[in-house]
């Protein structure tokens, strides 16, 4: 199965995301991708925060 994991771009101005006001590394996407690949899936990971 092909799976796409997406970290969408969003503005940090005026928002509080679990108390974080700065961009953070989406480590949970990497962990999820690794588990899915181990299970035999094809994974595409898109991080819109770094892609602009």
pTM value > 0.85: no
The CA-CA-CA angle for residues 8, 1, 5, to 5°, reads 10
Number of helices and strands (H, E) in the chain? 2, 2
Determine the pLDDT at residue 10.
Answer: 72
Number of domains in the chain: 1
Higher pLDDT, 43 or 52: 43
Does residue 2 or residue 16 have the better pLDDT? 2
Q: For residue 51, what pLDDT band results from cuts at 50, 70 and 90?
A: low
Domain hosting 23: range is: 2-51
Q: What is the pLDDT of residues 7-48, one digit of tens each?
A: 887 766 666 665 565 566 678 889 999 999 999 999 999 888
């Amino acid at each position: 199965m092909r799976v796409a994991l997406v970290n969408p771009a969003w503005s940090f101005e005026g928002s509080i995301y679990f108390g974080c006001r700065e961009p953070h590394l989406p480590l949970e996407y990497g962990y999820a991708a690794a588990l899915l690949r181990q299970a035999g899936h094809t994974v595409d990971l898109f991080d819109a925060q770094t892609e602009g």
